[in-house]
Amino acid sequence: MKLKSPMAIWKYLPGTNCGECGEKTCLAFAALLKERSRDLAACKPLFADAQYAEKARQLADLLAPEIRAVTIGTGSKAVQIGGEDVLHRHELTFFNRTALAFDVWDTLDEAALRERVRLIADWRKFYVGDFLMVDAIAIRAVSGEAQTFATCVKRVAEETDLPLMLCSLDPVVLEAGLELVADRAPVLYAATQANWQAVLSLAKRYNVPVTVFSPDLDELASLAATFASAGLKDLVLDPGMFPTGDGLAASVANFVRIRRAGIEDGNDDVAYPLLAVPMTAWLISEHDDALAASYWEAMLATIGIIKYADIMILHSIEPHSLIPVRTLAANIYTDPRRPVSVEPGLRPIGAPTPDSPLFITTNFALTYYTVESDLSSNKIDAFLMVADTDGIGVEASVAGGQLTAEKIQETLELSEAESKVTHRTLVIPGLAARLSGETEDLTGWRVLVGPRDSGRIPGWMEEHWPPESSLT
């Protein structure tokens, strides 16, 4: 995005404040365009009135991300990669998470192939209120035989609707698989200095994205420019990932140089998504040392996520490798300006009765799911009341004034907690202990101070629940 402020964007809008976009003013709409939370097409006068046609064209170009966005796959499982505007997420945010593609290969027997595809496609891990999943399957032509590869591609396509990558340096082999799944917009991997003409022809004929590979950055830029001049702009660049030593250092430097050239220098020849291949870790390990290889692959993957890889090809689907990689990708690509939050309100945990305890916590997602998990995993039937603290955790929200006695009173009233329990006793987090007296005075409820760590709630319950006044 070449326009850095809402005011700069506003100058290209009609300025009539017509409200057809749903916002009160053009400046308010411009601010949302800056955040990429609204689409320019929502400004109907800009496209309906001929007098704004040139401004519409210019603005669409100026709002385009610095790094081209490329979509792989189709339907609900399609993944967009690239589309970034900044080198550091605190400058704005990163928009499209690093996509993870796990490999299968055409020398696997059918049963093993189908089982591995299912393991990849079905993998998920619950994390902060959502399920983490993987994004694509990379099909490698290990056999080098067109028909063998085609059979493998067909079997994979039958098992999953995840986006696909077709991996071979032989254009004949690539086409054998591509003609079976071209309608699913797979990514071709890869065009090189040796095969680029044939791969370019394939990509144009079938209208699919393609990866361009070269560890020589000048050669990589030249290949990308050649493909773009031929009308093919859905490109992914692979500058190579060497797994160790000086080669690894050079690989990381290349990723940084390319992304910096695309964003800071405005070099359109390299302003494309980047691909990393952490599975090169398996090239340096003995075949009987799979554990070391999987750990090293995870290490390379973390480097790739941090240093601008938009999509990666990996091998290990073991939990010790996959979970940290996928979790890091989720964390790096979480908008740092917006705390991850849950909806406020009252939630039953287990099967609470009117005599069950009533806990309160904040709507910071990590806090909420930690407390919820600690209650449910210990089979504690309770009500959990969630206060709207703008997605901020307990200690910070008490210090910052988002969690106050007044907020607790408001939450009690909005959630109609009085109708849920008979004891009028509220348990507040230990980190909010200083609010206990003021909360009792304001609400008329009895306030108990719970543990600072929700993992200690079971022991706290043994000593403090039911409250003494309710025993009589």
pLDDT at 363: 95
Given a contact cutoff of 8 angstroms between Cβ atoms, the answer to whether 204 and 253 are in contact is no
Q: Rounded to an integer, what distance in angstroms lies between the CA atom of residue 6 and that of residue 23? A: 14
Say if strands 79-82 and 187-191 run parallel, antiparallel, or are unpaired: unpaired
**What stretches in the chain show pLDDT beneath 70?**
1, 285-288, 469-472
DSSP letter, residue 224: H
How crowded is residue 92: how many other Cβ atoms within 10 Å of its Cβ?
Answer: 18
What is the per-residue DSSP string for 337-384?
TS--B---EEEEESS--TTS-EEEEESBHHHHHHHHHHHHHTT--EEE
Look at residues 447, 451, 443, 452 and name the one whose alpha carbon lies nearest to residue 467: 447
Global confidence as pTM = 0.84
Given a contact cutoff of 8 angstroms between Cβ atoms, the answer to whether 445 and 420 are in contact is no
CA angle at 358 for the pair 353 and 359, rounded to the nearest 5°: 145
Q: Rounded to an integer, what distance in angstroms lies between the CA atom of residue 162 and that of residue 117? A: 10
The pair phi, psi for residue 370, each rounded to 5°, is -70, -50
C-alpha distances (whole Å) from 17 to each of 20, 44, 258, 362 are 8, 12, 41, 38
pLDDT at 2: 78
Q: Rounded to an integer, what distance in angstroms lies between the CA atom of residue 62 and that of residue 54? A: 12
pLDDT at 334: 87
Which domains are assigned to the chain? Answer: 6-63 (1.10.15.40), 69-332 (3.20.20.20), 345-470 (3.40.50.11600)
Q: Rounded to an integer, what distance in angstroms lies between the CA atom of residue 77 and that of residue 166? A: 17
Burial of residue 285, with CB atoms counted within 10 A of its CB: 0-12 exposed, 13-18 middle, 19 or more buried: middle
- The tens digit of pLDDT for each residue in 250-261 reads 999 999 999 999
Q: What is the 3-state secondary structure (H, E, C) of 138-173?
A: EEECCCCCHHHHHHHHHHHHHHCCCCEEEECCCHHH
